[in-house]
Structure 1
């Protein structure tokens, strides 16, 4: 493996994801709904809260 690729991957692992806060909120909503809601309903709940995200992210 090239040295540059190794350090690039290492940096990517340590970097925080840009959806970390959103992912936490999605997991909260999923737990609040007794783990019964799928991505469509979770997406609708996020839209009601004013969070405009794609269904692909949910």
Structure 2
């Protein structure tokens, strides 16, 4: 996964499903987390993203 250019997660995880830093240019689809106590990807990945696309602002704020 560390060398992947495209990563797709669709889980009901409450903890991130990976812990390493993504390389520059990776495309990540995280579609499983839909509750405040769910988290598929580490917060660090969100902090370094150059673009984040969400379906619902309300859901993303939770």
Higher relative contact order (CA 8 A, sep 6+): 2
Name the structure with the higher helix share.
Answer: 1
Same topology, TM > 0.5: no
Classify the TM-score, shorter chain. Answer: under 0.3
Between structure 1 and structure 2, the one with the greater Rg is: 1
